Amino acid sequence: MCGIVGYIGHREAADVVVDGLTRLEYRGYDSAGIVTADSQAQLEVVKRAGKLSILKEALKTNPLKGNIGIGHTRWATHGKPNDVNSHPHLSEDSKLAVIHNGIIENYMPLKAKLISNGHDFVSDTDTEVIVHLIEEHYQGDLVEAVQNALKEVTGAYALVVSHIDHEVIVAARATSPMVIGIGENENFVASDVPALLPYTRKVIFLHDGDMALIKKASIELSDFDGNIVEREISTIDWDAEAAEKSGYEHYMLKEIYEQPTVLQNTFGGRFAANGMDVELDLGLDPNSINRVVITAAGTAYYSGAVGEYLIEQVAKIPTEIELASEFRYRKPILDENTLCIVVSQSGETIDTLEALREAKRQGAKTLAILNVKGSSISREVDDSLYIHAGPEIGVASTKAYMAMLAAFELIAIWLGRARAELSDSVASELIQALRSTPGLVEHALEEREHIAQIAEQFKDKRDYLFLGRGINFPTALEGALKLKEISYIHAEAYATGEMKHGPIALIDENMPIVAIATASELYEKTISNIQEVKARDGIIISLANPDDEQIAIHSDHVIRVPKVHELISPMINVASLQLLAYETAHRLELDVDQPRNLAKSVTVE
């Protein structure tokens, strides 16, 4: 997720763009850059790796003039966060500049074609491909060149283009958000509303497939074929803080609802055209390993616990999950045939970083599942698979967990296919199911009102139990963690079959028990376990699929979740548990985004 701002009008563009980027820095802060068009023969650019403050310092000594400008604050997806990979990206003659939020899925073949056509690339980004494509199509009409360039591109993008010979900025949207601000003899474009609020509250939210030709005194909307489109002008009544949360009351809730889009970004470009394979661009040889060890902390650990099931069941490789904080003190036995997968949203968790170092000391191959490019773990691991979840502001991890699960699904399929353990039909079935997950998660979140009622009813309970079997035991663990870390209610998770070995002594009429009872080979056993708990007067809150007609007999409340392949069900089931935790903490009027005692990244042991 990146922040984009464009301006054309009577003010100094650099001031407006930098101010807008400051209000969008929550969308990414790996690097930042700005281009302005003045009366010179070429665009003027300043761009720097690092936070926006570094760009602001550079602009003090190298101020940019002009009433047209575009700027970008980056969340790196392709290419390290350094100066040359920062946006804007310019054409070789510095007449054309592009900024982009999203992922160009087919950038590699396009880059190869453009290089063979004589284009010189200077960065490792996918975005630079767009600059050279527009250059290739430009014959004086900027909009036409952008339209023709985008016809060759597949992926998600919010794109803004500036050209020194045209007193316009051109914007185009496909999946990634973009909004136009309407001013008096000035106009704006940005990734999100906060950048616009100091100047205007009249906005147009672009739809997928929209293009905009933005001039000082006019805005022309069209589709990518040039057909005029009409869009509603909205008036924003949010304050600035609400706007950063896109109108949601908390970042955590915003990030829960971002999950369908995040999944599209995590999967972006990684499904092969044959519908049976995935393309992860990893250097590891899947046939060089005979064992997998996954290690992480907290929520990332629970994603790894799901990953353990997936890799064993799909790729048939012995796999174990290890707590990062215990790993190196346990003196594990690893060797060059072990693949150690470390998982970390921040890439800075010291427990996980030290576990990685222990694995490397023992000669294991290492792979990281990460969200933040340029993080400490990314610099020490052999290879990384990025989850593209964008900055996660809420301390309680939601969208990053969802994206980690998606990453493990991809890795399990990739290993299984490379080792001939996963048939065409099963691979195709899993990939089809994965492609449906953004919609299924969106559907699961529609239960929010019902979940909120349950949260209201039990928000004052002292204890909760979460039960899950098989691949959804980690889902129960994550659900319990979400609840306890933001509502401060004591919540524990158990493998459902484990209850009878002691924990069932805890059950009484004051104990809400969340039981995951979605479609599974273990469904009948789960029902038996639920009956055991019900017989002790426990309050049963079941998660079940819509077609389950018997679950209500055994439950006090049923939260319906869309049905999907069991190996993918953790992705759908967790969304309901995230909402249960959020609605509980919200009703307790607690600090949902910054719970007591916690930090977003734990960099101490």
Which residues would be at the binding site for ligand AGP (CB under 6 A)?
297-300, 344-346, 349, 352, 395-397, 485, 601-602
Alpha-helix residue ranges (DSSP H) falling in 445-522: 448-458, 473-487
Identity of the amino acid at 412: A
Tokens linked to 454: 């349950």
> Taking the complex as a whole, how short is the minimal distance between the CB of residue 219 and ligand AGP, in angstroms?
41
Question: What secondary structure letter does DSSP report for 505?
Answer: G
Would you mind telling me the total number of residues written for the chain in this entry? 605
> What is the CA angle 366-368-371, rounded to 5?
170
Residue in the structure block whose two tokens are 């101490």 = 604
Element (H, E) at 468: strand 463-468
Shorter beta-carbon distance to ligand AGP: residue 393 or 426: 393
Tokens representing residue 104 in the block? 């160009």
CA dihedral 272, 277, 281, 284 (to 10 degrees): -170
Catalytic residue positions? 2, 600
- Closest to ligand AGP by CB, 299 or 542: 299
For the bound state, the minimum distance from the C-beta of residue 375 to ligand AGP, rounded and expressed in Å, comes to 9
Give the DSSP H or E segment for 438: helix 424-444
* 302, containing H or E segment: helix 298-310
Helix (H) or strand (E) holding 325: helix 324-327
User: Smallest gap, in angstroms, from Cβ of residue 595 to ligand AGP?
Assistant: 9
How large is the C-alpha radius of gyration of the chain? 25
Q: Smaller CB distance to ligand AGP: residue 162 or 299?
A: 299
The residue at minimum Cβ distance from ligand AGP is: 298
Q: For residue 271, what are the β-bridge partners?
A: 278
Min. distance of Cβ 379 from ligand AGP in angstroms?
15
> Minimum Å distance from CB 345 to ligand AGP?
3
Nearest distance from C-beta of residue 19 to ligand AGP, angstroms = 30
Looking at the Cβ atoms of 91 and 375, the one nearer to ligand AGP is: 375
How distant is the alpha carbon of residue 429 from its chain centre? 24
3 state DSSP class of 99: strand
Alpha-carbon distances, residue 115 vs 99, 111, 122, 160, 175 (angstroms)? 21, 6, 11, 23, 27
